[in-house]
Amino acid sequence: DQQVKQNSPSLSVQEGRISILNCDYTNSMFDYFLWYKKYPAEGPTFLISISSIKDKNEDGRFTVFLNKSAKHLSLHIVPSQPGDSAVYFCALGTGANSKLTFGKGITLSVRP
Amino acid sequence: ETGVTQSPTHLIKTRGQQVTLRCSSQSGHNTVSWYQQALGQGPQFIFQYYREEENGRGNFPPRFSGLQFPNYSSELNVNALELDDSALYLCASSLRAAEAFFGQGTRLTVV
């Protein structure tokens, strides 16, 4: 059973526009939500997180939105830059320092 | 402050052999988790160590085992390697908070 779903395997956007990456989950016990970016031949790099007590967290060009009732998480990148081209994973946890359950990832391509 | 480092970066093993992968956690981090990432998939949790004790395990058979040392570095051991064990193995360290920081991974190929 797939508890975390990233249904779109890829996304292509024009430089300067907004990138919206989505993530859906089924287990309401998840209470910590993270996004990681991964380049080829590197490990995932932590981007931004949000806890279940918030519905939005912003860090520079990156904003994460959480809709607990819909069990939906999204990452907005604005403006998108070619260097943002990578695979993005949502990762969900229950409690402090629990195991993380990852989605399959979305490949983002930002066209110059 | 040093990040998470893993060794080796690549290795090739024969089916049935045993392998040990190593991870040095980020300075000050007392928790290490191991993940397996198969091609086209997200990382899957193998197990976690906190202060040298196993602190949770994913759906992996007992031939996957681990250790954490007093300096919080860690090893992942896999016995009786199978072809399906071919994957990227990722180590992540953290400080009892959910933001885990990953190493670059070890690419294991079983032939």
Per-residue pLDDT of chain A (112 residues; tens, 9 = 90+): 679 999 889 999 999 999 999 999 998 889 899 999 999 888 999 999 999 999 999 999 999 999 999 999 999 999 999 999 999 999 998 876 678 999 999 999 999 9
Is the previous residue joined to A9 through a cis bond, with omega within 30 degrees of 0?
no
- Indicate the range of A48-52, B1-5, B7-11 predicted with least confidence: B1-5
Q: Supply the pLDDT for residue A97.
A: 62
Measured CA to CA, the distance from residue A32 to residue B83 in angstroms comes to 34
Measured distance CA(A42)–CA(A52) in Å, rounded = 29
pLDDT of amino acid B99: 80
Tally the residues of chain A.
112
Phi then psi for residue A34, to 5 deg, are: -130, 155
Question: What is the per-residue pLDDT for B2?
Answer: 65
**pLDDT on residue A74:** 98
Q: Could you read off the pLDDT of B27-49 as tens digits, one per residue?
A: 888 899 999 999 989 999 999 99
Q: What is the pLDDT of residue B100?
A: 86
Q: What is the pLDDT of residue A1?
A: 65
Yes or no, beta carbons of B45 and A104 under 8 Å apart: no
Comparing B1 with A84, which gets the higher pLDDT? A84
Percent of chain B with pLDDT over 90: 77
Q: Is A74 on the interface with B (CB under 8 A)?
A: no
Q: Output the CA torsion sign for B62, A33, A59, A85.
A: positive
Task: Show residues of chain B in contact with A42, CB under 8 Å.
Answer: 104-105
Please check the confidence at residue B96 and state whether its pLDDT lies above 70: no
User: Hey, is the C-beta of A93 within 8 angstroms of any chain B C-beta?
Assistant: yes
d(CA B52, CA B67): 7
If DSSP states are collapsed to H, E and C, what string results for B34-45? Answer: EEEECCCCCCEE
Supply the pLDDT for residue B47: 95
Q: How far apart are CA A62 and CA A25, in angstroms?
A: 21
Q: d(Cα B27, Cα B22) in Å, to the nearest integer?
A: 16
Q: What is the Cα–Cα distance from B42 to B106, expressed in whole angstroms?
A: 15
**Nearest CB neighbour to A96, from listed B96, B102, B103:** B96
Q: Using the beta-carbon criterion (under 8 Å), do B56 and A44 form an inter-chain contact?
A: no
Burial class (CB in 10 A: 0-12, 13-18, 19+), A107: middle
Burial class (CB in 10 A: 0-12, 13-18, 19+), A44: buried
∠ CA B11-A88-B108 to the nearest 5 degrees? 10
Q: B56 or B15: which carries more pLDDT confidence? A: B15
* pLDDT exceeds 70 at position B97: no
